[in-house]
Amino acid sequence: MYFAFLNTFFLLCLHFADSLAPFSLGNGYRYLSKEVNSMVANFDKSTIETKWLQQPLDHFNKTDDRMWNMRYFERLDKWRPKGPVYLFINGEDEATQAFLQTGIMYELAKETKGAMYLSEHRYYGKSIPFDDLSTENLKYLNSKQALADVAKLIEEIKLLPQFKSSKVVVVGGSYAGNLATWMELLYPQLIDAAIASSAPVVAKKDFYEYLENVSEDFEQHGTPNCLDKIAEIFKRYDELFKSPDGIAKLKAEEHICDKTDMNKNENKQIFFLDKSSEFMYTAQYGNPKRFKSHCEDLISTSAINSSKDEVLWNAKNDCFDYDFDEMIKSMKEIDWLMSWTYQTCTEFSYFPTSSSDKQPFTKNIRMDLFYKMCSSLYGPTFNEQRIEEGVKNTNELFGGLKPNVSNVVFVNGDLDPYHKLGVLEDVSYDAPAKVIPRASHCRDLFSNRPGDHQELKEARNYIKYLVKKWIGAGDYIIKRE
């Protein structure tokens, strides 16, 4: 939201850099968290205070009086009287204070003398309503409840006398970029401006465009013949699966556990999804230089790495275990993964299949894998029909690519496959869209760094200009050094 689905899903806009779990279902935020934390490793955190707010378990059922504690962070050292309030909405991972120490929101707060807050999403990090993430307990995990949590937090902040007249700006990336958009949609009385970075606001069951975009990225920014090399390797995998001798050869080459039955359809699909995730990762978080480097390595070695993540790697036997049932068992032991996968199975899908003809990864990643995953994790009612209904309900509630919002800026990088589900054209004069060439997932949320190209820097300035205009911050702008 900010892969990013197994790595896009498990990968996917995030400890991702170390572990590209193939089912990361779009968990992009985990990767971004790790990257931004590395930038401020030695920062003095004494300026940031950890706080807790009691939230209703169910905001929309007044007969249910159960409560839970949501964690959030506060930083006020940059604030001066009449300054605005900035709230970074956390996504599908534990909240990190780093977004209060660097990045575009930090710069805005510094330049406009603003207060900074960061909210942790229900069912992630330490904001867990239940110890047991059973299907029954997970039913209170959805974007509408999460938005109500944010609204209540803003109301509590605005009760403080010093913030009574302050403008409020919300910021979010990846899935949290959706939340930033939808806060203005559902709670316009509380929000004065929003930044929606790499926000896939359209829910989509079969997200075949994801791998199409990966293919386009490698064709445009990789080395000559790189896409042909990818296709060659994946076609070879496909051929090896057609015979017992071929499967035996594949298992030996790829260090697949002896006990893993690669004749099973779902195990085969997991293998292809895992192998594709390396390319997904480069597309979602890379840059033109990285594409070229990836291609050079691929052409010289003809090898595609597999990720030694906590779901597929069998450390005891030193092999990759692509067994579907074992994967489900592993997923059930990882809280954030159970929570995010639940949201994909009930609200968004974002399932990255290879059903399109416009990609080189063969046709071996299909929707039936994701249907089976959802029903295996949460029960038989989490089937194709329920997934379709969830997607339909999400798009009807929030408006898809045409949300009825104002003072929201939609920002996407054209390398990022998730931009295919984002707002790429102005919704209105007061809800503009900005597509940044050669930029990846949520890159606009960072501060300028060595190597950032001019268009990315200009986009960040444009975003800040819009926010300052919308909140009338002209009198409080600090001159840039």
Task: For 374-413, write each residue's pLDDT tens digit.
Answer: 999 999 999 999 999 999 999 999 999 999 999 999 999 9
Termini Cα distance of the chain: 32
Confidence at residue 1, expressed as pLDDT on a 0 to 100 scale:
37
For 298-334, what is each residue's pLDDT tens digit? 999 999 988 777 688 888 899 999 999 999 999 999 9
User: Residue 362 pLDDT > 90, yes or no?
Assistant: yes
In angstroms, rounded to a whole number, what is the distance separating the alpha carbons of residues 446 and 411?
13
For 188-224, what is each residue's pLDDT tens digit? 999 999 999 999 999 999 999 999 999 999 999 999 9
User: Residue 43 pLDDT > 80, yes or no?
Assistant: no
In angstroms, rounded to a whole number, what is the distance separating the alpha carbons of residues 304 and 16?
17
User: Residue 476 pLDDT > 60, yes or no?
Assistant: no
Task: DSSP letter for 314, please.
Answer: E
User: Residue 373 pLDDT > 80, yes or no?
Assistant: yes
Pair of tokens at residue 40: 């401020």
Average pLDDT (112-124) is 98
User: Residue 357 pLDDT > 80, yes or no?
Assistant: yes
In angstroms, rounded to a whole number, what is the distance separating the alpha carbons of residues 28 and 30?
6
User: Residue 117 pLDDT > 50, yes or no?
Assistant: yes
Q: Which SS3 state, helix, strand or coil, does residue 376 take?
A: helix
For 259-276, what is each residue's pLDDT tens digit? 999 999 999 999 999 999
Whether the CB-CB separation of 155 and 187 falls below 8 Å is answered with no
C-alpha closest to that of 330 among 305, 308, 352: 308
Q: Which SS3 state, helix, strand or coil, does residue 89 take?
A: strand
CA-only gyration radius of the chain, Å: 22
C-alpha closest to that of 53 among 28, 73, 75: 73
Whether the CB-CB separation of 460 and 448 falls below 8 Å is answered with yes
